[in-house]
Structure 1
């Protein structure tokens, strides 16, 4: 059973490594934003407004580093800060109009680049990839949710 788990972990790791390489090398526009800024926009798009401290923690950044990044992105119109309705002393960081437009433009570019690559894949493999994506999207969403939970701890290394 341990071998099957190890094989599963290896296959999942390889899939994520291939996807990450394809994404960062070919599918994203690396000229308009730093990786940190793109990740902040992605998180705020997915999760909505967040306190700066929660955003820094979620992104694995120091609060001062995140403050500097958020201020820079505010000046670019990518982010906005508003008073937290639950606590007037705190503020929430959210996407500004330019941040939403940036996310939408990057998503459209990603889709265009994927569409340009698909003709290199056989029709049967395109169908298989679509079917696999239905499952992978659901499962990776569950894994992302588990990784983001407060209760999550590092799993025992399988070897």
Structure 2
């Protein structure tokens, strides 16, 4: 029985979204960077400057790993560290124009590829996906809000 006939099942959603996410992450790109690098750049592009400790939570990697990654991204000119105006002892990591350019390029490449893929779908399939977008966007917002709450709950120290 199809998922459509029996109703929405969390297992079906997780399976399909997992496959879609893997396919989306693996789309060919002119910009060759690790998934974690791209994730940090996308996070900073979408959320604005963040403390390293908050990035550690959103990216779900260890403190040494995020510190090393931020240092490498800074060395490569993709992010920069700036004093936190609300707490002069703390530092915020923000994306640079070069980092933002990578995010924009990847977005354009995804749009191009999704346009190609959507052209192979039936009008009914495209309409179904279109109708599902508001609910999927709401779920993404809920996941972001949940991660943001976890990041805010982490003791910041001076990072």
TM-score (norm 1): 0.81
> Which residue of 2 is the match for residue 96 of structure 1?
96
> Which residue of 2 is the match for residue 36 of structure 1?
36
> Which residue of 1 is the match for residue 75 of structure 2?
75
**Unmatched segments (≥5 aa) in structure 2:** 1-7, 152-159
Q: Secondary structure at the match of 2:19?
A: helix
**Unmatched segments (≥5 aa) in structure 1:** 1-6, 152-159
By relative contact order (CA 8 Å, sep 6+), the higher-ranking structure is: 2
Within 5 A, what are the aligned runs for 1:9-28?
A: 9-26=10-27
Extract structure 1 runs of 4+ deviating beyond 3 A: none
User: Aligned equivalents of 2:143 and 2:67: distance in 1?
Assistant: 28
RMSD value, Cα: 2.2
The structure-2 alpha-carbon separation of the partners of 1:73 and 1:150, relative to structure 1 and needing over 3 Å to count, comes to closer
Q: Assess if the C-alpha contact under 8 Å between 2:80 and 2:95 holds in 1.
A: yes
The structure-2 alpha-carbon separation of the partners of 1:150 and 1:56, relative to structure 1 and needing over 3 Å to count, comes to closer
User: Aligned equivalents of 1:146 and 1:56: distance in 2?
Assistant: 15
Q: Assess if the C-alpha contact under 8 Å between 2:84 and 2:92 holds in 1.
A: yes
Q: Secondary structure at the match of 2:119?
A: helix
